[in-house]
Every structure is written in C-alpha cells, then in structure tokens.
Amino acid sequence: MSAERIDGKAYALGLRGRIATLAADFTARTGRKAGLAVVLVGEDAASQVYVRSKGKATVEAGMASFEHRLPADAGEAELLALIGALNADPAVDGILVQLPLPAHLDEQTVISTISPDKDVDGFHVTNAGRLAVGQPGFVPCTPLGCVMLLKDRLGSLSGMDAVVIGRSNIVGKPMAQLLLAESCTVTIAHSRTRDLADVVRRADIVVAAVGRPEMVKGDWIKPGATVIDVGINRVDAAEPGKTRLVGDVDFGEACAVAGAITPVPGGVGPMTIAVLLRNALVAAFRNAGMALPAEAI
C-alpha cells in the first residue's frame, strides 16, 4: 500500500485562480480593488521573504497590496498608531502584522488592536470566540487550508474520528474547532498526552502540528487514515553542510500505512498564502456590504 499524495500546491493554485476571478468582479462592482495591508517590523530575513511573497501573490490576484515597514526599534505606540490608521482606511480590507515581532513589542496587544473585521490572520480574540461559537469570522489560514484539503479528498467529514497533535492558538486549537464544525469526533493531543501513539492510532484523520521532526511514526497511523502534516522542520541532510525540509510525520513510514498524506514541502504550505488571499477577499466583500458566493472559495 502506498498513500495518495495530497497535492496542496495544485489545490492552492486553483483556489488562487478562483480568488482572482472574484477579485475582478469586486473591482468591477465597486470601482476599487480589495486591499491587503502587511506590516513588517524589523529586518528578520524569513519574515522579509514571507512579506515579499504575500505582496506578490496579492497583486497577482488582482488586489491592492499595501506594505508598511518599521525599524526593529520602533516603539509600540508607533506600531499601534499605524494599525489604527489602517483600521480607519476604507481602501484597506485586511490587515496582517508579520510575526514574530521584536521582543520589546507585545504580540497580543498588537493583535488586539487590529479591527476583528480586518483581522485576516484570524488571531484576534474576537475571531477566536466567533469560531468557538460558530459565528462568521476569520479563521487562521493554515487550519482552514487543512480543512479544505481534507474535504477535497474525503468529501463529508461527518462522524470521523480526528486527532489534532498540537494545541497552539495558530493551528491546533482552531483546527480542532473547524473539525468539530464538520461533525468530527475530535481529540486534541499534545506533549502531556499519555500513550500518544495509541491515541493517534484510533484516528481516521491525523493533523500533526507540533514542530518536532518526523515525530509521528508509521505504526502510529491507522491503516487508510488521512494524514495532514503541518510541520516544516529543517534538518541535516545526508550531504555534509546541506539541510532538507521534513514534516512532523515520518513520511516514508506513514506512506506505507496511510490512505492519503500531505508531503513536506508541497502539501499544507502553499495553502497558507492562498487562504490569506481568500480571507482578504471575504473581508472586502463584507466591508462593502456585498454577498460573496460561499461555494466559490
């Protein structure tokens, strides 16, 4: 048995195409482009790469990209004032503050300053609450992308046993809420879970989001289960001085047991920016008081 590879790159490409079509419709109907503002504080190399890729993807989707850069020593008052101005700007539909922030800035204070209706990362406590009680809001991009891949592969998720390994506010907790909303029976496992392998072995759906390279072994997986690997870990390669990317799941072992699995790279990763664009477009339609065809994205 060899697991089907879930091609997140191909799904994300299709999603971005649908977003571009709807973005053009939004512009035709409103006379302006949907707008996404990204704020970067400091010179973190990885964050700069992410911001450039987000800006490029936004423009390619036919939306307006607003990029704001502040020095690493920028004060909290300066950053909060910028967010306040973006909250009030009708050309800006979505706001994303690139994390992590420099140590002297409090991430929760910054996130809570973003208007919940422009919080396209879905990190604001109001959006977390909306998700918990089933009200419309914004959901963090990575878990929402995972659910899209699962439903594309499996159709209805109703009644399935799902195990989410990891309890972060960014992936684990919202992932569990989304699976509950799909009528799964959900277990959140973590570093303190007893007999973790046995817990995972019960699951029809396994979502691994712990940040530990190849922690989930093949004999943890129920035969035929669908495995979503959120992990992106850089480890030493066989060639001296080289590195390679691996997930939180031992891909080779899991492939021999699972029914389907996301590879790393090329699985969940491409979905994150695609869903960010989706959230920004949803924000634009909502802010304009326009209905968005839900089935489209």
The pLDDT of residue 241 is 80
Residue whose tokens read 């021999």? 256
Closest of 256, 186, 172 to residue 220, by C-alpha:
256
In this structure, how many other beta carbons lie within 10 angstroms of the beta carbon of residue 1?
Answer: 9
Active site annotation includes 98: yes
The pLDDT of residue 1 is 60
**Residue 296 reports pLDDT greater than 70:** no
Choosing from 98, 118, 204, 222, which is the catalytic residue?
A: 98
Active site annotation includes 108: no
Choosing from 54, 118, 173, 222, which is the catalytic residue?
A: 54
Preceding amide of 265 cis, omega within 30? yes
Choosing from 93, 117, 119, 121, which is the catalytic residue?
A: 121
- What is the Cα–Cα distance from 146 to 151, expressed in whole angstroms? 9
For residues 93-119, average pLDDT: 97
How far is the first Cα of the chain from the last one, in angstroms, to the nearest whole number? Answer: 33
Of the CATH numbers 3.20.20.70, 3.40.630.10, 3.50.30.50, 3.40.50.10860, which one belongs to the domain with range 30-124?
A: 3.40.50.10860
Active site annotation includes 54: yes
For residues 145-163, average pLDDT: 98
pLDDT tens, 42-73? Answer: 988 889 998 999 999 999 999 999 999 999 99
**Residue 297 reports pLDDT greater than 80:** no
* 30-124 and 141-270, same CATH topology: yes
The pLDDT of residue 22 is 96
pLDDT tens, 204-256? Answer: 999 999 999 999 999 999 999 999 999 998 888 888 888 898 999 999 999 99
The pLDDT of residue 292 is 79
pTM exceeding 0.85 = yes
- Alpha-carbon Rg for the chain in angstroms: 19
Residue whose tokens read 């997930």? 247
Q: Which of 74-83, 174-183, 234-243, 282-291 has the lowest mean pLDDT?
A: 234-243
44: tokens are 């973190």
Q: Is residue 134 classed as helix, strand or coil in its secondary structure?
A: coil
The pLDDT of residue 226 is 98
Q: Partners of 65 in the beta sheet?
A: 36
DSSP state of 269: H
In this structure, how many other beta carbons lie within 10 angstroms of the beta carbon of residue 67?
Answer: 14
Instruction: Give one word for 159, left, alpha or beta, with left for phi > 0 and alpha for psi -120 to 50.
Output: left
Domain ranges of the chain: 30-124, 141-270
Residue whose tokens read 């972060």? 168
Answer yes or no: CATH 1.20.1560.10 is held by domain 141-270.
no
143: tokens are 């878990």
